[in-house]
Structures are given as structure tokens and as C-alpha cells.
Amino acid sequence: MPLTPSSTFIPSTNVTWDFADHVVLITGAAHGQGAAHAKAFAEAGADVAICDIAGEMEYIDYQLGTLQELEEVAQAVRDVGQRCVSTVCDVRKPQQVRSFVDQTMSEFGRIDIAISNAGVGSTARFVDMPVEQWSGTIDTDLSGSFYVCKYAAIPMIAAKFGRIIVTGSIASFGGLNHCSAYTASKHGVLGLVRGFAPELAPHGVTINLVCPTAVDTSMNVPLGDGDQSSVDWNAQATRIIGSWNLLYDGMIHAREIVEAAMWLASRDASGVSGTALKVDGGCTCK
């Protein structure tokens, strides 16, 4: 069952982007936010390299991306006339991330933009949380982002240009109940971005964090806190998120995060690095 975005979302009618002759690498792109990034950058003229774990993870209680979905995203990129590399990659494994970057370089010869989007959300009281659930979340969201940034930055430094964008969260700034591993990982990626920015700046490479409130993707299915096969969970999740936000009455639309990422990836944001761009409906200012 798809999530329903906020009824207050107003689609943009006049914002256009031109990423012709750019290569964009995106992790966690089989569905959800990563797929939205891949399709939007392709529509804006970019060639795209995408990956996903394309399988299940223990202790994750929602549907992760599948190989079929990954190939459907790749085909959507090709359907608008752009080239696409797609592969299975578990970002918890640095050798697989490096191989994905190498494959992208072999195919395209460059990486202009890297979006470290792969991530998981897990819920449990921290006193009851299995250590495997903790490590799985930290290894994916924090260490996985480190590996993507590390290996994607190498060709960018050589080229003296690059844009790295990491998916953060409102959990990068405060605690979320029963989400201690996720909160720790998203605080961590904020530190990662701030730590990497000074090292990348002399090479013309920027790195930034995009921090959404809950987006209408499958990761937020468990927010319903009940039987996810029931029609009631979506309404319940919408009420929960709506109570957080000032500007939305439910889930934020994935396209709003795409627009933020596209601005950070553009040459118009050449003076922006080491920052966290909140697209959070105003919830973190309360």
C-alpha cells in the first residue's frame, strides 16, 4: 500500500534543472527516495549509476528494494534517453562500494555527483534491541555513507570538481522514540559531512546533508505502529507525522527532497559545503 503524501504539498511548476553531461551515482536506488533521485536526474539530462542491496535484511520490518525494482529504475533512466549502470551492492561492504564506483568510472569515465542515499530505519526499545540490529543500522546508514563518500571522492578530487550529497534526517538533530540506532547513525552522518568538508574544499568538491522529515516511502511504513496490512496504518502514520510538522499534515513528498538535492548538486550551490539542508516542514524549530 503506497503512503499518502501531505495534502499541503504543492508541486513545483517552474523549477527546471540542466544536468546534461553529468554523471550521477546513487545508492539505495531500487525504490523510494533513491529511485526518485535517479529518474529526476535522468530527466534533467544526466547519465546515472544506481545500486541497491536488492534483498532483505534481518530486523528490518518493511520491504527493501528488489532486483526487479532496480532494473525498472534503470529502464526508466534509459527510456528518457540517458545511459544507466545498475548493480547489486551492499553498502555495508566497502569492497562492493569500491567495485560500484570502479564500474561507474569504467563506464562513464567520471563521477560528478554522488548521492549516498542507501539507509535503513529500525525500531526497538534500546534495552531490548539485539546487537545485530544496532550494528546492521549503523553499518548501513553511517559506515555505508562513509564508504560511498570515500570512494566517490577519489575521482572527484582528481577532477577538481564534485558534489557529494548524503541523506540525513530530522534524527540528525534530535531523538526519535524507539529509534536509537537510526538516530545515532543520522547524527553520525552529520558529523561525517562536517568532517569531510574541510578536506574536500581545496579540491573543488562540496559535501552536504539533506535532512527530511518522514517521506512517503516504504521505510516509514512502520510508523503506523500496528498491522501494516490494515488500511488504518496509513492514516495513523499520517497523524503521527502530521503532529511533528508545522507545514505539512502528513508525509513529505519525495520530490521535495529531489529538488533540494538538485540545488545542492548544481553549480548554483558552489559556495555551500559542510551544511545540513532541512526539508522538514519546520518540525525541528519547535
Catalytic residues: 182
What end-to-end distance do the CA atoms of the chain give, in Å?
31
- Return the residue matching grid coordinates 555551500: 272
Residue 66 · residue 45 · CB < 8 Å: no
Helices (H) and strands (E) in the chain, counts: 8, 7
Residue 205 · residue 162 · CB < 8 Å: yes
For CA atoms 65, 67, 71, 72, the dihedral sign is negative
Residue 214 · residue 243 · CB < 8 Å: no
Nearest CA among 261, 285, 277 for reference residue 174:
285
